[in-house]
Amino acid sequence: MFSSMSPLKSPHLITLADGSRITPKGIGQVSLSPSLNLNSVLFIPNCPFNLISLSQLTKSLNCLVTFSAGSFVIQERGTSRKIGAGHESGGLYYFEMQPPVSCVAVLSPKLLHDRLGHPSLSKLKLLVPSLQKLAELGCESCQLGKHVRSSFPKQTDKRCNSIFTTIHSDIWGPSRVTSFGFRYFVTFIDEFS
């Protein structure tokens, strides 16, 4: 309940409702809700209740406390924004504590696979142990990436049947040294011959 605590510098005595006196063991800060922090809270281990002084609360937080039948609301004085609430039970008012909430985004195995750069299923299981029972990913990109296709066929079915049907040519140059005054040359190859 205490977010920070330190020992008291000077001894205090607190008088309880039955007239008995008790000594606090420390002083610190208590966070009752994300928007409601109480400072200078005394820690009294043997006290059966956690008590809040309304006069200290309204002074330190500059807030309003409104009581109605069975409940109360604590609001900021300027904006009337609700910063706390509670209910009555057995003649006492109890503050409704809001437990800290952690929000976690749940990602699908496919999204994790995509965001981690498409690792194999075995590597993904090492990174995310909760996916041990996953049998397959079904990633289309990974399947397409595994396909192998030759750039050119190794053999062709088309063969030339006569001269000058198919001619292959190539140009080369410029040469640093000229030959007969020329710096380029062209080759012609007849596929049939």
> Mean pLDDT, to the nearest integer, of 115-133?
89
Query: Is there a contact between 85 and 74 (Cβ–Cβ < 8 Å)?
Result: yes
Residue, of 43 and 101, whose pLDDT is higher: 43
Return contacts of 25-33, CB within 8 angstroms, 24+ apart. Answer: 28/2, 28/3, 28/4, 29/2, 29/3, 29/4, 29/5, 30/1, 30/2, 30/3, 31/3, 32/84, 32/95, 32/97, 32/98, 33/83, 33/84, 33/97, 33/98
> Mean pLDDT, to the nearest integer, of 8-22?
83
- Domains of the chain in start order, with CATH, are 2-95 (2.40.70)
pLDDT at site 102 = 66
Q: Dig out the tokens for 129 from the structure.
A: 């142990």
* 3-class secondary structure, 104: coil
> Mean pLDDT, to the nearest integer, of 154-158?
71
Question: Which tens digits make up the pLDDT trace of 37-94?
Answer: 888 888 888 777 788 888 888 888 889 999 998 999 999 888 988 888 889 998 888 8
Sign (positive or negative) of CA dihedral 148, 154, 157, 158: positive
pLDDT at 158 over 80: no
Q: Where are the alpha helices (H) located in 147-189, listed in sequence order? A: none
> Mean pLDDT, to the nearest integer, of 17-27?
85
pLDDT at site 72 = 92
Which residue is it, tokens 């510098």? 9
pLDDT at 30 over 90: no
For residue 115, the cross-strand partners are none
Name the band, by pLDDT with cuts 50, 70 and 90, for residue 98. low
pTM of the model: 0.44
